[in-house]
Chain A
Amino acid sequence: MIIGTAKESYRADEALLTTKPQRVWMAIFLAFLVIVPFSVNDYWLYMVCLMTINVVAATGLNILTGFTGQVSLGQAAFMAVGAYTVAWMERDLGTPFLVNLVGAGLAAAALGIVVGIPSLRVKGLYLAIATIAASFILHFVFVHWESVTGGNTGINVAPARIPGMELTTYFQLYWVIMPVTIIMVVAAANIFRTRIGRAFIAIRDRDISAEVLGIPLLQYKLMSFAIASFYAGVAGGMWAYFFRVVTPESFPFMMSIFLLAAIIVGGMGTILGGVVGAVFMTITPELLRFVVEWVSPWVPNAGTLLSPVRTIVFGGLIIGFLVFEPQGLAEIIQRVRRFFRLWPFRT
């Protein structure tokens, strides 16, 4: 039980991990991440990598939607921009893969600024619709700009290379994807210790008040769009190296809804929420697959039920969380922590 945390400096007050148990748990978690690739089979490693990529994209969307309050349904389109940038750079420039990942992020960020321009005049749901429009227009570009995107057939992506070896197996890619993700999530957490992040939160809470306080709205909204798209671009770039082929259908509009659902289920406006939400929403459909396999002896053609059941559960999760647990999984985690903090005394 923790009685209180005595802080002696502002530095300690702003720290990401304030108490010793938090640091210990974080160390255990990081050690766990190191052990994971050695202890699970290829299928689960594939799932972990996919989750991790989704975590990056969801964290980016969380910065834009959860912290800045600008609802976007175009995150998947920015992932596609990142993936195409990686594919194009790998094919036509042959630059090292880390450069390609950064390039993917920057390309997506540049486009994010363009898409964000309506955000000064257009708010709330109208903005969400504008981002839907942008993602459909981008999809059209992917199909028709054949010299760069390869049209409907898409592009094959060469494997990521470091001097001396090609990263082709999930095990090798894990050691790229996981560190990049950790860096990006920590960076996201750090944004909100700076003026920029505080400005984002102020804009979310009341944009007019934020402007009165001296925050240039357009500049900061565009910055938020750029950062969110950068995350999406890097996630898309990793996705391209992971699946090694990019087509216009790789990032459907449903993916944008999926990411928005992930941060809602996880908890908007907390970094932890974006992470748990993405993990939870990625793994749930797979768990359903096991459930369907398990009932298959009793239910005829259970295999055909899988896709509809997934769709229903996906929708049901969104509705259930919004109606019963609007703060998401992050709030449940906080509640559990509070329970253990007061454990022997309050039961």
Chain B
Amino acid sequence: MSDWLFFIEVSLAGLGSGALLSLTALAFVLIYKATQVVNLAVGEILMLGGYLFFAFAAGMGLSPWVAIPLAVIGGGIVGGIVERGIIRPMLGEAAISVFMVTVGLGSVLVGLVELIWGTDPRSLPNFIATAPLFLGEAYVSRKIAVAFVVAGIVVTVFLVLFRFWRGGVALRATATDQAAAYSCGINVPGVFSLAWIIGCATAAGAGVLLGAISGISPTMGIFGLSALVVVIVGGLDSILGALVGGLALGLIQSWTGTYLGGEYTSVVTFSLLIVALMIRPYGLFGTHEIERL
């Protein structure tokens, strides 16, 4: 019985971190859908979000409830600047070039954060109560539960916006066919900016949640690599894939970390990635593009 309870607790923790993975993966998908850019800097934007929150809450002494929106807005501003400054000029270049630009951007962001805040890991001021939470008999860390609920709400809001909001519809139209969307009067460059702003703001928000759980450090951008695995397995342009893949990967990482040992998580994750790619090269839910000459 206690084995089962333990298993359920491990699974719940996995679902919690999976929700964060889903949220970060959503930032990837949003940006990819609108601009066909795989933004490897999402992990670093996430880190930046955590540090911005740290600066506002601990450095300037603001209340966390003011600092969180400021960090999210800060992430969005960075996203907007990046899109206008270095992604727009790369329009029409090979996908790998743009990918490498985002790799370079990630490096710059890491360097800037190290320059301003140093390399030591820090913990964020507590803004979530630490009292444990019990679901039936299973113990869940309150922070992880809060992260799960917040991620769930944000994802739901996104799904509703994509369905009903004008901007969301414009984004889907742009993703389907840029030229057609443009001739219908949709401001396609505006959609590019919007997608980057929302995507980076989402990542920054995920960074605050992740930082609240496990602290912040300049290397936490590596979390973006896990989220990248999620979107590759789920399909780069599939929101459903990001959600399902994120939760699944969170569970798998939690299980392997507990039952096999922490060092096995990355090898299991990446083995699954290769298997998934061999079976479905465009991801589980991604669009299979037909190549024409």
Is B271 touching A137 in the complex (CB atoms < 8 A)? yes
Interface positions of A from 305 to 325, Cβ below 8 Å from B: 305, 307-319, 322-323
Is B95 touching A312 in the complex (CB atoms < 8 A)? no
Is A129 touching B267 in the complex (CB atoms < 8 A)? no
Query: Which chain A residues border B89 with CB–CB below 8 Å?
Result: 323
Is A133 touching B270 in the complex (CB atoms < 8 A)? yes
A33 close to B (CB within 8 Å): no
Given contacts A71-B96, A209-B293, A319-B108, contact A126 B90 (CB under 8 A): no
CB distance from B105 to the nearest CB of A (A): 6
Is B90 touching A323 in the complex (CB atoms < 8 A)? yes
CB distance from B26 to the nearest CB of A (A): 18
Query: Which chain A residues border B267 with CB–CB below 8 Å?
Result: 136-137, 140
**Contact digits for B87-112, partner A, Cβ 8 Å, 1 yes 0 no:** 00110010111011101111111111
Number of interface residues of B (CB under 8 A): 44
Is B111 touching A312 in the complex (CB atoms < 8 A)? yes
Given contacts A206-B293, A312-B107, contact A260 B232 (CB under 8 A): no
Given contacts A309-B111, A315-B108, A316-B104, contact A323 B86 (CB under 8 A): yes
Is A311 touching B101 in the complex (CB atoms < 8 A)? no
Query: What's the Cα separation between A209 and B293 when bound, in Å?
Result: 8
Given contacts A312-B115, A315-B107, A316-B104, contact A118 B274 (CB under 8 A): yes
A-B contact count (CB 8 A): 126
Is A312 touching B112 in the complex (CB atoms < 8 A)? yes
The B interface, classified by DSSP as helix, strand, loop or mixed, is: helix
The A interface, classified by DSSP as helix, strand, loop or mixed, is: helix
B20 close to A (CB within 8 Å): no
Number of interface residues of A (CB under 8 A): 45
Given contacts A126-B232, A318-B100, contact A136 B266 (CB under 8 A): yes
Is B105 touching A129 in the complex (CB atoms < 8 A)? no
Query: What's the Cα separation between A134 and B274 when bound, in Å?
Result: 8
8 A-B contacts, Cβ less than 8 Å apart?
Answer: A121-B281, A124-B96, A130-B277, A137-B267, A261-B100, A311-B107, A311-B114, A322-B100
Residues in chain B within 8 A of chain A (CB atoms)? 38, 86, 89-90, 93, 95-97, 99-101, 103-112, 114-115, 118-119, 225, 228-229, 232, 236, 263-264, 266-267, 270-271, 273-274, 277-278, 281-282, 291, 293
